[in-house]
Homo-oligomer: A and B are copies of this chain.
């Protein structure tokens, strides 16, 4: 069965910034708002403008109080030595410091640490997502349980969505993240995936997000197909939950971002089939599509509010989203570098492409990829600050903050997921 659709009717006027539909948030102790006085200690002062600091601290003024959750009772954990480093610090770190310890951030990588995600919420999301995977969508056989647990998706999503008003809201993101990984693993990569025939498989899976509308004779066969393998079961179910809470425009945004993701998978697959190494700029273009973008862009749905469609579509907002997605995706290339080198075949990632196309050593290529990441992060922050200054609406401010928080949470998860990732020996 496709996700149920409401009967045709005119929509109400644009949603108000806070659109509660899931159960109201219960009081809880966690929060993500860094107290204003402490923000400069956490954010690098030299590269973050005052406007962005204001965004990252959250909105202020009349009418914005409802955007805040409870304030963090404890100051954030002291940053590790590398936390405030930008590109110049990368060189310094690589020359002066030793190899990073297990679970350390990449030396010289510009990033922002996050408060430890709320343990109680992590436990609850972890419990629920496993129940969903096993009982609702039969996602994986028993022997993959270790890998599922090692994915630590509960910790990941709680870190990325600290402003979600309830666990139910976090679950919207968590199911989609697990479904996206199931499609990637089963169709593209680790668990039986292959570039051969991928276009057909991905399109049919995409119809679980963007439903088929056909004749009465053929519609039921399509509906049945959505239950025929784990990736489609996962997409269908995760999307059904999401659509119940998201507005039609938020649903449309997610579909578009997933179409982008699938185009990215297919470009990568085409190159893999031909053993083609693209130019660096071509790789970066592909990686703007094969990208985390669908995850940060649901931050408003997960937060229980809506960035209006006309604001989301603004070129400046699109640019900020793309830059954030690109920075956070290169983080994945950097942390998964040794994992991908160890897998069969040549796995393209930014250091590998730079080494090949710019005739660089593995180490130099890796360190250059760190610089590319840092440049993207700095540009993201500068453009987000400019947009925040130009458009001081609460939904815009909160969305920009949500995207930045997702970027930080994503780094945190990569840094700390030592089950999956380890760093190369380049320092």
Binding site for B on A (CB under 8 A): 5-11, 14, 196-204, 206-207, 210, 212-219, 221-222, 225, 247-249, 251-252, 255-256, 259-260, 262-264, 266-271, 273-274, 276, 278-282, 284-286, 288-289, 308-319, 322-323, 326, 372, 375-376, 379, 383, 386-387, 390-391, 393, 396
Contact = CB atoms under 8 A, between A and B. Distances in A.
Contact of A10 (B7, B196, B282, B390): B390
A313 B256 CA distance: 12
A11 B212 contact: no
Contacts of A197: 270-271, 273-274, 276
B313 A200 contact: no
Contacts of A282: 200, 204, 225
A256 B11 CA distance: 22
Count copies of this chain in the complex: 2
Contacts of A312: 252
B386 A8 contact: yes
A271 B196 CA distance: 9
A309 B249 contact: yes
13 contacts: A5-B315, A8-B391, A9-B390, A10-B396, A199-B268, A202-B267, A210-B260, A212-B284, A221-B281, A222-B281, A225-B282, A248-B318, A266-B266
B215 A372 contact: yes
Contact of A263 (B9, B263, B310, B323): B263
A248 B310 contact: yes
A392 B310 CA distance: 22
Contact of A264 (B203, B260, B273, B280): B203
A311 B263 contact: no
A213 B319 contact: yes
A310 B249 contact: yes
Nearest to A278: B200
